[in-house]
């Protein structure tokens, strides 16, 4: 196991290098000169030169790329163009609000999706299955923005059950601010997950081991819980782990519309202000998290399915 993990980590280094090179080219070569966007059109030549020297943009591209690689390795990504704050500190400040929203929403979505999938597959071909499919399609067809506006108007403004916007840094007050966006997250994501898990579990029902279990007299609940669910965990696990980087990076729309100062809101501010260091950092972190997620998925496969062997 550890040999495999070490080999995968070493093989991820060229991938990470390629991602860093691509991100550098996009933001430093093809993205234009960010200094003009910071100082405006009417800045003097001396102001432009001083600012370019301050951020090291007057150095050769090779030197800038090597410095960027050093930042990736040390997780010291310099300062934001817009706020002049250290980006590492901005990430540390934003990851708490993002995880406060993402973790409960993600756990609730996963548990509900798996349970609903088991129910609709158990009653496959009957009215609970058909009703579940119709509700999933309806939920998937409605954009998240519509859920946000409806939730803020109905549950926040009309009924007054939740705050419409804002965030409290203290506990447990902050839970009241993330409750409504978390419920919206669940409403949006459950439809996608149930459709995916339903398809995966129905495929498992057609395997030989299910027919063998039925021939031995094992009841349907036992077949679902002891065999189908366990063997169907591979696609479920894949879908769950893929979403983990999105949890850490935050939900852009939810954080923005509900005034949650998380990483998603920070990313939108950086996009609006052409804050290249922040955008570059978040892009790189997303790639790193995806690499870690893929590694974790391969390792966890062996836990849920002994037929999978690491090689």
Rounded average pLDDT over 246-270: 81
At 179-215, the pLDDT tens digits run 889 888 888 888 888 888 888 778 777 777 777 877 8
pLDDT at 285: 84
Taking 60 as the threshold, does the pLDDT of residue 31 lie above it? no
Q: Is 125 left (phi over 0), alpha (psi -120 to 50) or beta?
A: left
Token pair 């093989």 is found at 11
pLDDT-derived band at 32 (thresholds 50, 70, 90) equals: low
Rounded average pLDDT over 163-180: 79
Cα gap 268→251, rounded to integer Å: 10
At 261-286, the pLDDT tens digits run 888 888 888 887 778 888 888 888 88
CATH of 95-304, one of 3.40.50.300, 1.10.3720.10, 3.30.1360.10, 3.40.309.10: 1.10.3720.10
Cα gap 38→40, rounded to integer Å: 6
Q: Concatenated DSSP letters for 72-96?
A: HHHT---B-TTT-SBHHHHHHHHHH
Q: What are phi and psi of 86, to 5 degrees?
A: -60, 130
Average pLDDT of the chain, as a whole number:
80
Q: Is 77 left (phi over 0), alpha (psi -120 to 50) or beta?
A: alpha
Q: Domain map of the chain by residue range?
A: 2-74, 95-304
Q: Concatenated DSSP letters for 184-248?
A: HHHHHHHHHHHHHHHHHHHHHHTSHHHHHHHHTT--HHHHIIIIIHHHTHHHHHHHHHHHHHHHH
């Amino acid at each position: 196991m550890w040999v495999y993990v070490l080999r995968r980590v070493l093989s991820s280094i060229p991938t990470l290098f390629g991602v860093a090179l691509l991100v550098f080219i996009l933001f430093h070569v093809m993205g234009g000169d960010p200094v003009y966007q910071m100082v405006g059109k009417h800045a003097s030549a001396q102001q432009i030169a001083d600012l370019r020297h301050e951020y090291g943009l007057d150095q050769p591209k090779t030197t800038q790329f090597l410095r960027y690689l050093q930042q990736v390795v040390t997780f010291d990504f310099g300062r934001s163009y817009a706020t002049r704050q250290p980006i590492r500190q901005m990430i540390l400040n934003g990851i708490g609000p993002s995880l406060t929203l993402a973790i409960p929403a993600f756990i609730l979505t996963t548990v509900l999706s798996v349970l609903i999938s088991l129910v609709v597959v158990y009653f496959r071909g009957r009215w609970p299955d058909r009703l579940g499919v119709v509700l999933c399609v309806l939920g998937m067809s409605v954009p998240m923005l519509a859920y946000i506006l409806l939730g803020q108007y109905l549950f926040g403004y009309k009924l007054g059950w939740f705050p419409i916007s804002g965030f409290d840094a203290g506990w447990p007050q902050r839970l009241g601010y993330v409750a409504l966006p978390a419920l919206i997250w669940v409403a949006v994501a459950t439809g996608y997950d149930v459709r995916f898990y339903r398809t995966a579990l129905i495929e498992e029902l057609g395997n030989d081991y299910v027919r063998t279990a039925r021939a031995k007299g094992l009841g349907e609940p036992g077949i679902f819980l002891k065999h189908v669910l366990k063997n169907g965990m591979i696609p479920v696990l894949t879908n769950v782990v893929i979403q983990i980087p999105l949890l850490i990076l935050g939900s852009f729309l939810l954080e923005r519309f509900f005034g949650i100062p998380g990483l998603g809101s920070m990313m939108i501010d950086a996009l609006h202000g052409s804050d290249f260091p922040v955008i570059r950092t978040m892009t790189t972190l997303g790639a790193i998290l995806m690499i870690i997620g893929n590694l974790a998925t391969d390792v966890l496969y062996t836990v849920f399915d002994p037929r999978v062997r690491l090689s």
